[in-house]
Amino acid sequence: MRHAIMGGGAPKETGLFTPSSYSASITIVAGTAQSGAIADGAKKIQFSNVGGTTEDVLISFGTSSADAIANLTVLGGIGTTGYFIPPTVDSSAGVAIVGVPSNGAYYAVVNANAADTPTVKVIQGV
């Protein structure tokens, strides 16, 4: 899978993803989902889980911040539903480019393992 390559802190266009705005670097507080607004015109979002070994995350989308967070179903301090992204230290799958749903206005991320505090870098684009 080709994707935007991070080099020197800047995303690079690869043909399948063109970065248009840097959104966030989110360090997750264990059991507390965090959300961000999706920029107008964004069609894809690159999520890079740069957390430590086994610091898996889940992502979701929603029509509001509360909806995106609710879609993660946080129980017992971890998310139980959503799109799974392992950390890059464990797998090359730690970088995911995900299409924005037609009604997606917000994204949300949460830890998938108890007490973990992973960091996720988020870049929006087309």
Q: Is residue 64 part of a domain?
A: yes
What's the burial of 22, exposed, middle or buried (CB within 10 Å: 0-12/13-18/19+)? middle
**Three-class SS state of 65:** helix
Report yes or no on 6 lying in a domain.
no
DSSP secondary structure code for residue 28 in this structure: P
How many folded domains does the chain comprise? Answer: 1
Please check whether residue 72 lies inside any domain of the structure. Answer: yes
Taking the model in full, what pTM does it have? 0.85
pLDDT by residue for the chain (126 residues), tens only, comes to 333 444 334 444 456 888 987 778 999 998 899 999 999 999 999 999 999 999 999 999 999 999 999 999 999 999 999 999 999 999 888 999 999 999 999 999 999 999 999 999 999 999
Question: How are beta strands 95-99 and 19-27 bridged, if at all?
Answer: unpaired
Domain annotation covers residue 13:
no
Is 48 among the domain residues? yes
Angle in degrees, CA 29, 18, 68, rounded to 5? 35
Please report the pLDDT score of residue 78 as a whole number.
94
Domain CATH for 109: 2.60.120
Residue 21 confidence (pLDDT): 79
